[in-house]
Amino acid sequence: MQNELLPDSFNATNKNEGVTPFFALHDQQLLFNTLMQSPAFICILKGIELNIIFGNYSITKVFGERFKEGKTIAEALPELEGEGIIEIIRNVFISNQQFAAKEMPLHFIIGDEPKLAYLNFNCEPYGNERVQVAGVSVFAYDVSEQVIARNAIKASENKFRKLIYSLPTALYTCDAEGKIILYNTEAVKLLGEEPAIGKKVGSGTWKMCNADGTPLPVNEYPVMLALKEEKITHHELIIKRADGTHSHVIPYPQAIYDSAGKVTGAINNFVDITEQVNTRRQLEQTANMIRDLYMNAPAFICTLKGREFVYELVNPEYQKLYGKRKLVGLKLMDALPEIRNTEIPDLLTRVYETGEPFVGTQMRFLLARDEGKEPEETYLNFSYQPMYNLENEIDGILVFGYEVTNQVLAKNKSEENLRWVLESLPQITSASSSDGTNIFFNKFFFEYSGLGVEEATKNGWNSIVHPEELENVLREWESCKREGKEYCMEIRLRRNVDRMYRWHIAHITPMKDHNGMVTQWIASATDIHEQKIKEQQKDDFMSIASHEMKTPLTTIKAYLQLLEMTIESKDAEALLYTRKAIASVERLKDLISELLDVSKIQHGQLNFNFSNFDFNEMVSTAVEEIEYNSPHHKIYKTGSIEQPVYGDRERLRQVIVNLLSNAVKYSPDANEVYISVNQQPGEIIVAVKDSGIGIAAVNLSRIFERYFRIDGQELHFQGLGIGLYISMKIIERHRGKIRVESEPGKGSTFYVYLPN
Ligand code: ADP
């Protein structure tokens, strides 16, 4: 390669080819002078020792006295020892071969300083007529400056490359034609491929698009504009990668100029703004959503700015509250002068100053819906929320709410109606809120109790309930409130006029909303004193009568049995009547004993004898007894209980006998009765099934009541209506349950459940 740092003539000589140098003999002095003054280092060395026989000014200028005729080169420049150059020159002498080298680094001592110099060398063997090689002429040219400058450029280029590679933004460079020269890893990531070096921008798989997604022609790529020195605006573009993904970027292309001001290439830098774009989009979406929400909300929303509460944002629902009145931009007090004397300004100021939100429920306002219109009664549910600025200081209030006028008026109306109904009831009635706070007592309550509004509101019914029942009443009331259930009980309430406690049947009933939440409690009491007393008198009479009849009946039975023995087989007819009389007396005794049981139950005196007994045997005895007395019916028993059962054998037998005799009694047209005994985990189940007349649904819950008999049956079926009542009490005493399933005309099944 031609060295542009050396004169062309040198290069030509160096190659020893082409034109032969020439000079005229008479110009020898001129030639000598030229050599002497040449800026190149020229010396002539003789013999294999390389003795200096000539050195031009350039050499002596640099090395001074050291470079003298008569010294060998090694003596003149001892620092070159080990650098290899002396050996090279000697080799030229020995081999008679020219040597040329470029930019050979050599370490010299100049003055007292070491110096690295880069020399272009040309060493030629020379001879004369006697010897072919007499010595070596050395021509050297100092190119240190160029080498150093070029190294510096290389170093800076390297730095530049390193810089590009290490930059955290995508970057590539191209030449004046737009061919890629260099790119960094960020560019690979952004473009989704390794750009092909030497290929034109735009020939890769990635494409550039406008921000709206339309493709951008390659000659309009910002880097191309930079190469054409056209004006570049730094605006958002999209880079679409081959895999379908894309990034939002702002390109910053920059043309590169040479020293003559000519564009030699460009560097293009992309700032990836994808994240910002996405965030911006999200923010826009959120803002749109909020705006939509705000504008279409079925609630009224407005913002009041600053201490003066200036209407800033007002949504359509809020505007509806005030018709066509102007709000936005006006101070609240100026827009709605009518609120000046209400509590609103104070409420707002408090929220503004304390930061504590205010929530108003069913608050009553008088709103003039339009300028000049009469204010209307309006009920609103709303909140005042403080709004904060970027410094976290309160700078306004957000008002949010909805109108509940219709609901409130409807509720008031329905409450009014309810009160009207309660007021007119001829019963003691009160209403309390869901938490039990007394809110209403009817006229009758005040009349009966003689209490004043204040005392009634404070203590409710407590002060008129009989002390013996109060504890029970309070306990039941608590469980009603806890479970939202209704309750019914017989209690005595004190009448004010005569201070007498009268029996009442009291109901506590919850009123629930459509979600099943209790909204109010209604308590009412109906006077049943007269019935209660009559019942008691009846009970007392029954009790006394049965007691009184028990002894004479036993005597009658004894006499009849004597008579039976006396008649024996003498008079068959008389014997038959006597036996019938005994059976009737027996039945009467059973009835009286049942009546006595009722009386005992009433007084809590029904005795029980608990023990372990054979349940199967007990059931079988009962079955036999009924079969003996009712020969027309067949009783089928299934199932059995293996282990002994703990309970009152006699009382349980009484229950089974009662159920079986009812089954027989109420099945005049059927003759089969089934009894099954089953052991389940934790309980014994006895079922008595008949195919008799059955029980209508309305009576099912009542047949266990004392003295209850189904209307119209008295003529056909004898009984007092106490058998099932006693049975239920006996089963309850065993912590068991009794229930019935029945269908009129088809039959009934009674179930007894006993824990075991
Ligand atoms: P009673 O002495 O009237 O039979 P209970 O207390 O044993 O009294 O029965 C109460 C009422 O229940 C009866 O009057 C009858 O109407 C009805 N009842 C009881 N058992 C049956 C049954 N197996 N089939 C139809 N009705 C029944």
Does residue 721 have its Cβ closer than 6 Å to ligand 1? yes
- The position carrying tokens 């006996």 is 730
Q: What is the pLDDT of residue 14?
A: 42
CA distance 338 to 322: 12
- Angle, helices 723-733 vs 572-602, to 10°: value is 50
**CB neighbour burial string for 40-73, b if at least 16 within 10 angstroms, e if fewer:** bbbbbbbeeebbbebbbebbbebbeebbeeebbb
Q: Ligand 1 test: best mutation among 708, 724, 740, 751, most atoms within 8 Å of CB?
A: 724
Entry pTM: 0.42
Q: What is the pLDDT of residue 22?
A: 52
Residue of minimum CA distance from atom 3 in ligand 1? 721
Does residue 738 have its Cβ closer than 6 Å to ligand 1? no
Ligand 1 centroid – CA 704 distance (Å): 9
CA distance 108 to 85: 12
Nearest ligand 1 atom, CA 747: 24
Q: What is the mean pLDDT of each run of 10 residues along the chain (756 residues)?
A: 37 44 61 85 92 91 88 92 92 93 92 90 86 89 89 84 82 92 91 92 92 92 92 89 93 90 91 90 84 81 93 90 90 90 92 93 82 82 91 92 86 77 83 88 92 90 93 92 90 94 93 86 91 84 81 86 83 85 85 86 86 95 91 94 92 96 94 95 95 94 89 83 94 95 96 94
Does residue 695 have its Cβ closer than 6 Å to ligand 1? yes
Ligand 1 centroid – CA 711 distance (Å): 11
Q: What is the pLDDT of residue 25?
A: 52
CA 344, 346, 347, 353 torsion-angle sign = positive
Does residue 748 have its Cβ closer than 6 Å to ligand 1? yes
Query: Looking at the DSSP assignment, which residues form a beta bridge with residue 41?
Result: 140
* Residue 572: partners with Cβ closer than 8 Å, 6 or more residues away: none
CA distance 145 to 349: 82
Q: What is the pLDDT of residue 123?
A: 93
Ligand 1 centroid – CA 718 distance (Å): 10
* First-to-final CA distance of the chain: 118
- The position carrying tokens 């306002």 is 365
Ligand 1 centroid – CA 724 distance (Å): 7
* Residue 681: partners with Cβ closer than 8 Å, 6 or more residues away: none
Listed residue (210, 59, 213, 71) closest to 139, CA to CA:
59
Query: Looking at the DSSP assignment, which residues form a beta bridge with residue 398?
Result: 303, 385
Q: Ligand 1 test: best mutation among 658, 660, 709, 740, most atoms within 8 Å of CB?
A: 709
Listed residue (353, 180, 138, 176) closest to 262, CA to CA:
176
Tokens of 594: 């049942």
Q: What are phi and psi of 153, to 5 degrees?
A: -65, -45
8 Å CB contact between 126 and 135: yes
Q: What is the pLDDT of residue 362?
A: 86
Ligand 1 centroid – CA 680 distance (Å): 27
